[in-house]
């Protein structure tokens, strides 16, 4: 199946620093990528929808100035957590939608996730 990578897989940083997470579709083009966040023992919650070449669409309650999303190419979206605080510690997962339909259904592929710990 299609592969989506995320980098870094794990990051530990001090409060107040900014962290950039990359999401790449390795063998397909993705006009749309999604960013999710998962707190311990909770479900994945959609943060934003990232569209190549346009502004991201953020879910209610997600601060767009704090979580900066850039989708500059068909294979790369980045999420930057600005001025991170301990409450931002979470598991961040991206998914990429295969623009060409894959098997004919709306197929989305998940990255392996980035575990962020803010001290």
Partner 1 sequence: RKEVEQDPGPFNVPEGATVAFNCTYSNSASQSFFWYRQDCRKEPKLLMSVYSSGNEDGRFTAQLNRASQYISLLIRDSKLSDSATYLCVVNSQAGTALIFGKGTTLSVSS
Tell me phi and psi for residue 91, to 5 degrees.
-105, 115
Number of residues that bind partner 1 (CB under 8 A): 21
Query: Considering beta carbons, is residue 16 or 91 the nearer one to partner 1?
Result: 91
Residue 83 Cβ vs partner 1, minimum distance, rounded to whole Å: 26
C-beta neighbour count of 94 within 10 angstroms: 30
Is 71 a binding residue for partner 1 by CB under 8 A? The answer is no
- Kindly state whether residue 106 participates in binding partner 1, applying the rule CB under 8 A: yes
Task: Please pick, from the candidates 26, 112, 117, 119, the single residue that binds partner 1 as defined by CB under 8 A.
Answer: 112
Number of H helices, E strands in the chain: 0, 11
Partners of 37 in the beta sheet? 45, 92
Does residue 108 touch partner 1 according to CB under 8 A? yes
């Amino acid at each position: 199946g299609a592969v989506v990578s995320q980098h870094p897989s794990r990051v530990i940083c001090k409060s107040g620093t900014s962290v950039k997470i990359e999401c790449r579709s390795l063998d397909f083009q993705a006009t749309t990528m999604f960013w999710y966040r998962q707190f311990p023992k909770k479900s994945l919650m959609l943060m934003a929808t990232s569209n190549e070449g346009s502004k991201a669409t953020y879910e209610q309650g997600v601060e767009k100035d704090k979580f900066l999303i850039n989708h500059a190419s068909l294979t790369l979206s980045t999420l930057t957590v600005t001025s991170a605080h301990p409450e931002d510690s979470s598991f961040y997962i991206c998914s990429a939608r295969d623009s060409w339909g894959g098997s004919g259904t709306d197929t989305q592929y998940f990255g392996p996730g980035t575990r962020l710990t803010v001290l």
